[in-house]
Chain A
Amino acid sequence: MSAGRILVIEDNPADVFLIREALREQHVDARVDVVDHGDRARRLIEEHPASASGCPDLVLLDLNLPGLDGLALLELMRDRNWCARTPVVVFTSSESRLDYERAMLLGVKRFVHKGSGYEAFVQVGHVIKQILDPSTPP
Chain B
Amino acid sequence: MLLLNSYHPGYEWSDDEMRGVREAVLGARPDAEIDTEFLDHRRHDNPSCADAFAALLRSKYARSRLDVVITTDDAATEFFLARGATIAPGAPVVFCGVNYRDDYSRAVQLARQGGFPVTGVLETVALADTARLALRLHPGARRIFTVGEDLVDRYDLQLARALPGIEVRRVSPHESSLEEFGRRLEALPEDSIVLLSAFSHDGLNRQLSMVESVRYTAAHCRVPLYGFNKNALGHGIIGGKLNDGYYQGRAAGEMAVSILNGAPPASLPIQSDAGQPFQFEAAELERWGIKDHQLPAGSIVRGRRPSLYAQYRTAILAGSGFITAQSVAIVLLLFQRSRRRRAEAALAASEQHLRGVLNSLFAFVGVMTTEGILTEVNLAPLEAAGIRAGDVVGKPLWECFWFSHSEQERERIRAAVLRAQSGGSSRFDVEVRMKDGPVPVDFMLTPMRDASGRITYLIPSGVPIAERKRAEETLRRSEERFRRLVETLPGMLFITDAAGHNIYTNRSFHEFTGLSEQDLEGEGWIRALHPDDVDRTRATWERCVREGRLYEIEHRFRRSDGAWRWHLTRGMPLRSSDGPIERWLGIATDIQDRKHSEAALRRANEDLRQLIWAASHDLQEPARMVTTFTQLLSERCAGELREQGRQFLEHARQGAQRMYELVAALRAYWEVSDEGLAGALERVDMTAALGEAWRSVQPLADAACAEMTHGELPVVTGDRDALAQVLGHLLRNAVQYRDPERRLRIHVSAELQGSVWKFRIEDNGLGIAPEHREYIFGLFKRLHSRGDITGSGMGLPLCRRIIERAGGHIGVESELGRGSTFWFTLPHTTVEENNIFVGRAHSRH
Contact = CB atoms under 8 A, between A and B. Distances in A.
Interface stretch (A53-61, A68-76, A114-122): A114-122
Contacts of B359: none
B624 A18 contact: no
B199 interface: no
Contacts of A117: 627-628, 631
B628 A93 contact: no
Nearest to B623: A116
Nearest to B840: A97
B621 A118 contact: no
Given A117-B631, A118-B631, A93 B625 contact: no
B840 A118 contact: no
Nearest to A11: B621
Interface residues of B, number: 25
A95 interface: yes
B657 A116 contact: yes
B631 A93 contact: no
B625 A14 contact: yes
A93 B668 CA distance: 13
A3 B840 CA distance: 42
B218 to A, nearest CB: 91
A1 B129 CA distance: 130
Q: Report whether over half of chain B's contact residues are helix, strand or loop; otherwise say mixed.
A: helix
A96 B620 CA distance: 14
A18 B667 CA distance: 24
Interface string B661-684: 100100110010000010100000
Interface in B786-840: 840
Interface string A4-22: 0000000010100010000
A105 interface: no
Interface residues of A, number: 15
B621, B657, B668, B671 — most chain A CB neighbours (10 Å): B621
A116 B628 contact: yes
Interface in A44-94: 64, 93
Given A12-B621, A96-B677, A118 B632 contact: yes
Contacts of A18: 628
Contacts of B840: 97
A117 B664 CA distance: 14
A116 B660 contact: yes
A14 B623 CA distance: 12
Nearest to A114: B624
Nearest to B635: A118
Report the 3 A-B pairs with minimum CB-CB distance, sorted nearest first.
A95-B842, A116-B660, A116-B627
19 contacts: A12-B621, A14-B628, A64-B621, A95-B667, A95-B668, A96-B677, A96-B842, A97-B679, A97-B721, A97-B840, A114-B624, A116-B627, A116-B660, A116-B661, A116-B664, A117-B627, A117-B628, A118-B632, A118-B635
Given A97-B679, A118-B632, 18 more contacts: A12-B621, A12-B625, A14-B625, A18-B628, A93-B621, A95-B664, A95-B668, A96-B842, A97-B677, A97-B840, A97-B842, A115-B624, A116-B623, A116-B657, A116-B660, A117-B628, A117-B631, A118-B631
Interface of A: 12, 14, 18, 64, 93, 95-98, 114-118, 121
